[in-house]
Amino acid sequence: MTLKEFYAHVGGSYDEALARLMADKLMLKYLFKFEASAGYSSMMAALAGENWEEAFRHAHNFKGLSLNLALGDLGRSGSTLCDSLRSGKPEGDLPAMTAAVAADYEKVIAAIAALRESYPEAAT
């Protein structure tokens, strides 16, 4: 999978990512660190535990990172989830929003795994 194919696959834009991240090499570097930095499992744990304040903080970081890496669909579903938690308790259909984020996240993680195989020198 090339970077262009990756971005098309996750509903983002390679051109936007390049403008923001400046070089393929840096793009790969950040994408390969995404899973470790995004705090996805902490966010899900906070949501499951109904710890709304902590869930908001994690969702906020998660959204910011997804947007900055130009991860299209995940940036959008992450923003929706984050906004629904802003007031201190969830607003709207939380299970649906959480499911959307989970689906987009799985898609991104799987695609990043594919990228690792295509760019083994960057993955180390």
**CA 95, CA 47: separation in Å to the nearest integer?**
10
15 binds another protein (CB under 8 A): no
Binding of residue 10 to another protein (CB under 8 A): no
Residue with tokens 């793009």: 27
Rounded CA separation 103/36 (Å): 18
Indicate whether 116 belongs to the interface with another protein (CB under 8 A): no
How would you class 45 by CB atoms within 10 Å of its CB: exposed for 0-12, middle for 13-18, buried for 19 or more?
A: middle
Minimum gap (Å) between residue 57 Cβ and another protein: 5
Instruction: Give the range of 3-11, 43-51, 54-62, 107-115 binding another protein by CB under 8 A.
Output: 54-62
72 binds another protein (CB under 8 A): no
| Nearest residue to 11 (alpha-carbon basis) of 70, 80, 83 | 70
The answer to the question of residue 76 lying near another protein (CB under 8 A) is no
Footprint on this chain of another protein (rule: CB under 8 A): 19-22, 26, 29-30, 33-34, 36-39, 54, 57, 60-61, 63-65, 67-68, 70, 75, 82
